């Protein structure tokens, strides 16, 4: 999970724990890239906040996609966590390389749907 807001980290963490999903927290896009480059083999999904300090989710996603391409590794599914559901903002998520989006605040059942869809696609 890539999220700079501590309250949002706690909310997402509680939901992931209830679903028995192991996770790592990155506080910004640069941390996410660093973690991904060292642990990509053990990361099956990234929940990426869009608006963060240091490096936003859009640029972090582009960097992760570039890394995957350069290293010849399979793309990891990236779901945007975004408070904005405007068409232009959602398009920006997809244009940056994200695979899906989850509007904030989200409900656990919607998170489960997104995760189930990802599992079915694997």
Distance CA 4, CA 31 (A): 10
Domain holding 33, by residue range, is: 6-121
Structural domain includes residue 96: yes
Structural domain includes residue 1: no
Q: 19-53: per-residue pLDDT in tens?
A: 888 999 999 999 999 999 999 999 999 999 999 99
Asked whether residue 54 carries a pLDDT value surpassing 70, the answer given is yes
Q: How many domains does the chain have?
A: 1
- φ and ψ of 74, to 5 deg: -65, 140
Confirm if 1 and 28 have CB atoms less than 8 A apart: no
Kindly report the pTM of this predicted structure: 0.92
Structural domain includes residue 55: yes
CATH of the domain at 73: 3.40.50.2300
């Amino acid at each position: 999970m890539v999220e700079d807001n501590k309250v949002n980290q706690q909310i997402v963490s509680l939901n992931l724990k209830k679903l028995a999903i192991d996770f790592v927290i990155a506080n910004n896009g640069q941390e996410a890239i660093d973690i991904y480059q060292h642990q990509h083999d053990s990361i099956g999904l990234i929940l990426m906040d869009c608006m963060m300090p240091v490096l936003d989710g859009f640029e972090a996603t582009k960097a992760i996609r570039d890394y995957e391409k350069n290293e010849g590794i399979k793309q990891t599914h990236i779901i945007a966590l975004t408070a904005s559901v405007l068409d232009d903002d959602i398009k920006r998520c997809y244009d940056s390389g994200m695979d899906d989006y989850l509007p904030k605040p989200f409900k656990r059942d919607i998170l489960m749907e997104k995760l189930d869809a990802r599992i079915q696609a694997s």
